[in-house]
Structure formats: C-alpha cells, structure tokens
Amino acid sequence: MEEQQIQDFVHRVSHDETLRKELASNPDGVIMREGFSPRVARIVARLVPQLALDKPIGPSSPFFWR
Amino acid sequence: MLIERLNLLLAALDSVLYPDVIRALEGAGKLLSQPEHQADHPDPPLPAGVWPLLTLLVAQQITPDIDTVSASSVAVAIECFVCAIDLLDDVIDEDQTPTLQTLGVARTLNVSTALLTLAQQAILSLSQQGVQPLTILRLLNTLQESALVVTAGQHRDVLAEQRPAQNFTREECIEIAAAKAGSIMRLACRLGALCAGADNVVCEQFSEFGELLGIAHQLDNDNHDLYYLLQGGTSTIASTEAETARNIKSDLVRGKKTLPVVLAAQINGTLQNTSSSADEEKKEYLRALHEGILTTWGICLLYRERARDRLQEIETQKPVAPLLHLLLGFE
C-alpha cells in the first residue's frame, strides 16, 4: 500500500541519521534501491528537501482551495 | 451568469431572511464576496465562487455548448450547498468567522437551513428550463446522498474528539477527510458531469477525481495549519494570521483527530496533552509531530498524484480546458 510505504520511509529517515545523509547526497540512488512504484518515487523525490535538508514544507494546493 | 442565477434564486426569500443569507454568501471566497487585497497579507485575495465555477467548467468540459442557464443553476446549487456546510462546520467547531460573529449561532443555523433548501430549489428550477425530469431527479438524488455523507463525516469528526488519538488509525483519518472535503468536491464535479449528460463512466471518472482532490485539500489544510503554528510563522492560507492561529488552536483544544496529530500519537505513544508532560517528553512529542506532518504531506501529495492520474485518464478522451486546469492547480 502506497500510504504505508510513505509512512515507513519517512519514519526510517527520521530515525536513521545514516540514511538521512545518504538521501541528502544521493537521493536518486536511495529511491531506486527502495524499489518504490513510479508514483511513490515521485512523491519521495519531492520530500527529499524536507526529509534530508530540513527545508520548510510548502502547500500542494492552490491557495483558493485551502 | 452565476451571480445572476443566484440573485434570481435569492429573490424568493423572505425579506427578514434575505440580508442574513446575503451576509453568508459574501463571506471570503463565496460567490458574492468582493475580494480585496490586504496590504499586510502575503496571499492574494480569495477569488469569489471557485466551487460553482468548478461545477460549471466540468459541465462545459463535457458539453462545450451546454445551455449556460441550466448549468449555472446547478453550479449555484453547489454554491448554496457548500456555504451551508461551511456555516455548520463553523458552528460545530466554534470558529469565530466574521459571518458567525455577525449573525450569532441561532441565525447562522437558520441561514444554513435556508441555503440547503435553496440548493434543492436551484436544481428544481431546471424544470422551467426544459431539463428532463429524470435528469433533475438524478441531480437531486446526488445532492441528497452527498449531504448525508458529509453530515456523517462531520458527525464522525465530532465523535472523534472524545477518543484518544492513539486509538485512531491513518485509515480512519483519511475516511473522515473523504467524507468531508472529499465528498463535497466529488459532488461539485459529479453534478457538473451529470447536468452535461455524461455517461456513467465519465460521471464516475470526474467523481473519483473530485474525491481524491478533496482529500488532498483536506490533508493539506490540516497539515499546513499545524505546521505553521509549530514554526511560529505565517500561514499561507487565505485568512488573517490571527484568525488562522485561533482556528488551529481551536482544533487542537477540541481534540480534532487530524492525520498529523494521529500519526504523531502513534509514533510517540502519548496523548495530545503535551503541556502536562516533562520537557523531554514534550520535545519527543514535537519530533513525533514533525514526522507526522512530513508523512501527512507525503500522503497529501499521493492523493494529489492519484487525482492527476485520473485527470490524465479523462484527458485521453478529450483535452481538459486550460481554465479548468488552472482552477484545479495542475500545470
């Protein structure tokens, strides 16, 4: 299930400093190794700046729907 | 055309009720609002009437030469329905919106009832525009079914306030989001498709698309409100900063089981009463909350991607009009 894959991956990155550093330096390699579906891979790729570099999260919807 | 149809509908209202209904429909983002840019706010003003515009554009997407009078009547039904549900939501959540502050609870509830009835009236008015009775019945039935789903979702949300967050699951949170925002956007898309005479397959494609996008919007709302509160920064949502912060705090105090809160409780295994915890426990909880927010954002993006996939399926039959693309926020 895609939701569970995302939840598990965020949890692992949050608790594994080595994985965090690897994700920061080689995101494509990590995403490929994890074997995500293309859709989950796209989402994880978008999450990399927040997961690995502590960048702020941005809204995903146009402001008028929020 | 939309405002014209709405004004025709409102003309039948009793003069005692009329000004209060107008007041509600002039609220931020509503069809009769007059967007004004606030110099001290980072966002542009909320455009007026995005909900009826969505219904109208879906109808025109399916049948470009659809009779705009009848399509606008259906779109106005959505405007009345969404406004009524928003008012109920504000009363239930005790959000101090300008409309609620002006009208008070009793009048707001009465206006909500009037708007729900007007939504049905707008659809029934199609009989004067030569729309087939079977189509009118299908539209009305769809509206009623959605009203019950939204109400059940709201009820579930209220009952959830009494349960500890750890007893909740991710699936339950998403089910509530689906019943609330998901079913409203599903309805807006489905009514547009139905009034344009779409077949069952196309109706279902637009319905599913709307539901997925509605869930994404709900998760986005819950997540970003909480995120910006934790960051101590300014929310980018289109309301005043103070109002936003008040509503978020109200959600937390009421024990709303939003997805980031539930995920944090699962991660941390603690309740939401962080103020009574020791400093270290509080830090742990905040870390768990941050993880919950990131996970929720990922799941929000997932639903948006699923919606995009549905839209691409729709586009295999006919390219989606640029204005509809723009409204939906897909490049």
| Distance of alpha carbon B5 from alpha carbon B292, whole angstroms | 44
Q: How many CB atoms lie within 10 A of CB B132?
A: 11
What is the per-residue pLDDT for B234? Answer: 46
Would you say residue B167 has pLDDT above 90? no
In a domain, A15, yes or no: yes
Would you say residue B203 has pLDDT above 80? yes
What is the per-residue pLDDT for B42? Answer: 61
| Distance of alpha carbon B112 from alpha carbon B91, whole angstroms | 10
Among A44-48, B14-18, B43-47, B72-76, the range scoring the smallest mean pLDDT is B43-47
In a domain, A42, yes or no: yes
Place of tokens 């539901």: B211
Place of tokens 């956007």: B185
What single-letter amino acid sits at A33? R
In a domain, A21, yes or no: yes
User: Taking CA atoms, what residue in B is nearest to A7?
Assistant: B295
**List of residues 6+ apart from A39 with CB closer than 8 A:** A2, B302, B305, B306, B309
B208 touches chain A (CB under 8 A): no
Q: Pick B229 or A44 by higher pLDDT.
A: A44
Would you say residue B93 has pLDDT above 80? yes
- Which of A9, A11, A39, A60 to mutate to test binding with chain B, by most B CBs within 10 Å of its CB? A60
For residues B303 and B328, is the Cβ–Cβ distance under 8 A? Answer: no
Chain A residues touching residue B294 (CB < 8 angstroms): 10, 14, 47, 50-51, 57
In a domain, A13, yes or no: yes
User: Taking CA atoms, what residue in A is nearest to B169?
Assistant: A4
Mean pLDDT, residues B281-287: 82
The interface predicted TM-score of the complex, written ipTM, equals 0.93
Structure tokens at B279: 């400093």
What single-letter amino acid sits at B12? A
What is the per-residue pLDDT for B252? Answer: 67
Among A11-15, B268-272, B315-319, the range scoring the smallest mean pLDDT is B268-272
In a domain, A65, yes or no: no
Contact B301/A14, CB-based, under 8 Å?
A: no
Structure tokens at B99: 């409309």
Would you say residue B174 has pLDDT above 80? yes
Counted domains in chain A? 1
| Distance of alpha carbon B270 from alpha carbon B285, whole angstroms | 8
What's the Cα-to-Cα distance from A46 to each of A6, A23, B38, B289, rounded to whole Å? 12, 12, 32, 20
What is the per-residue pLDDT for A24? Answer: 93
Mean pLDDT, residues B169-185: 95
Confidence class of residue B276 from pLDDT cuts 50, 70 and 90? low
Domains defined for chain B, CATH in brackets: 2-328 (1.10.600.10)
What is the per-residue pLDDT for B238? Answer: 41
pLDDT digits (tens, 9 = 90+) for A1-38: 999 999 999 999 999 999 999 999 999 999 999 999 99
Percentage of residues of chain B with pLDDT beyond 90: 70
**Residue B219, helix vs strand vs coil:** helix
What is the per-residue pLDDT for A26? Answer: 94
pLDDT digits (tens, 9 = 90+) for B7-18: 999 999 999 999
Secondary structure string (H, E, C) spanning B28-71: CCCCCCCCCCCCCCCCCCCCCCHHHHHHHHHHHHHCCCCCHHHH
In a domain, A12, yes or no: yes
User: Taking CA atoms, what residue in A is nearest to B290?
Assistant: A14
Would you say residue B37 has pLDDT above 90? no
Would you say residue B245 has pLDDT above 70? no
| Alpha helix (H) residue ranges in chain B | 2-10, 18-25, 50-62, 68-93, 98-124, 133-160, 170-177, 183-195, 200-231, 241-254, 259-268, 279-315, 322-328
Among A59-63, B25-29, B67-71, B116-120, the range scoring the smallest mean pLDDT is A59-63
The boundaries of the domain holding residue A23 are 2-56
Place of tokens 């967007």: B35
Measured in angstroms, the CA of A54 and the nearest CA of chain B are apart by 10
In a domain, A61, yes or no: no
> Between residues 37 and 56 of chain A, which touch chain B (CB distance below 8 Å)?
39-40, 42-44, 46-47, 50-51, 56
Of A51, A62, A65, the CB nearest to B294: A51
What single-letter amino acid sits at B258? T
Nearest to B177 by CA among B195, B160, B189: B160
Q: How many CB atoms lie within 10 A of CB A3?
A: 16
Q: What is the pLDDT of chain B when averaged over all its residues?
A: 88
In a domain, A62, yes or no: no
